[in-house]
Amino acid sequence: MSKPKNPLLSFGARGTIADSLTFQRRGKLTIAESIPIPTDRKSPAQLIWRQIYRNAVATWHALSPEEKEAWRGVCPGLSPYQCFMKSELKYPPPPPPIYIGADAITRETQILAVNTVITKDGPANATGMLHTVKVYAREDMTGFIAGTFYTTNGNRLKCRDSELIGDVEAGAERTFTGLSIAVEEGDYIGCFFDTGTIERDKDGFAGVWYKPNQWIDPGDEADYSLLTNDALSLNGIGEPGGGGGNQPQEDEIMLKSGQSTAPAKTETQVDFTTPFTGTPSVVFVAYAENDTPYLLEVTPTYFKWNNASKFTPVTIDWVATDRGNP
């Protein structure tokens, strides 16, 4: 723990207490203020964008002076570096696929036909459309229907959407593509079949809801029994948001970029020369691997970042764009 350099209540107190309170001299004033807590939570989407940005920066630095100069004038009003980065960051990265359910593998036992069964394992990680269903039948199944469900109250579930697949041959994972089954984040996958059995485990999993007869038409809602610790060999794969339409036209992108340097443990504001019409996305990368900058605030006219390093100044490369929050 750092200690103030003068008595805590003296006019000349400076330093930090427990990395949470800092004393600084500003003119004739001694100011005590809390050290800000990072709001930069590094979501998966942010991590994807930062890696893309790091790759783009590394590519720029690897260009020869002649190759860099060739970008001058390509994008009116932008520097060669800004033009290159705009080209590299023009389109957002594809979102990770939707996954729902449990592995379609051989298991210790089975569930019989003429039941609507829903696996509690692997709730959907995003909203969109399922285009693929994988299932492992222990005995050949007929009249197989796959669907998505959500809980309305405890063990009461409602079918969101479903699609008839038909016959499923036993003995291996079977994959069915070209489907269109609506799914929302947190949904579960289930199925119904007229004859045959599906692979099932009875221990170590989240559970399986079941109800006799067919309850898998969209809008069907019923109270289910829960087989605790069970799992089904059934899963789905899909595309978030329904796909398509996520690539903006070049003239829709507003992009600004630059460098900023901050001393150790200092908050810095970077002003945009021309304001954005809305709050932009800001992505930055530090030059040294162990540098610890984080984003504090973003507005249409500026962003603030903090160098959390205790001893060394930090320089960042930054890009701000109105393409949307990464």
pLDDT tens, per residue, the chain with 326 residues:
444 444 444 444 444 444 444 444 444 444 444 444 444 445 555 566 667 777 788 888 888 888 888 888 888 877 888 788 877 776 555 678 999 999 999 999 999 999 999 999 999 999 999 999 999 999 999 999 999 999 999 999 999 999 999 999 999 999 999 999 999 999 999 999 999 999 999 999 999 999 999 999 999 999 999 999 999 999 999 998 754 333 334 445 567 777 888 888 889 999 988 888 888 878 776 655 566 788 888 898 999 988 888 788 888 878 787 754 44
Check residue 251 and report its DSSP letter: G
d(CA 313, CA 300): 26
Contact assessment for residue 21 and residue 35, using Cβ atoms and an 8 Å cutoff: yes
CATH code reported for the domain at 98-240: 2.60.120
- Measured CA to CA in angstroms, residue 186 lies from 241, 262, 311 at distances of 15, 42, 44
Domain ranges of the chain: 1-35, 44-92+249-321, 98-240
d(CA 150, CA 141): 25
219 C-beta neighbours (distance < 10 Å), count:
8
Contact assessment for residue 138 and residue 193, using Cβ atoms and an 8 Å cutoff: no
- Measured CA to CA in angstroms, residue 228 lies from 153, 209, 232 at distances of 17, 8, 12
Contact assessment for residue 278 and residue 322, using Cβ atoms and an 8 Å cutoff: yes
Was domain 44-92+249-321 assigned CATH 1.10.287? no
The first and second tokens of residue 295, run together, are 């984003």
d(CA 212, CA 113): 9
pTM of the entire structure? 0.56
Residues sharing a CB contact under 8 Å with residue 95, sequence separation 6 or more, in sequence order: 45, 126, 239, 240, 241
Amino acid occupying residue 272: F
d(CA 322, CA 317): 17
Sign of CA dihedral 76, 80, 81, 84: positive
d(CA 200, CA 239): 27
Check residue 97 and report its DSSP letter: P
d(CA 177, CA 19): 54
- pLDDT at residue 30, rounded to an integer: 43
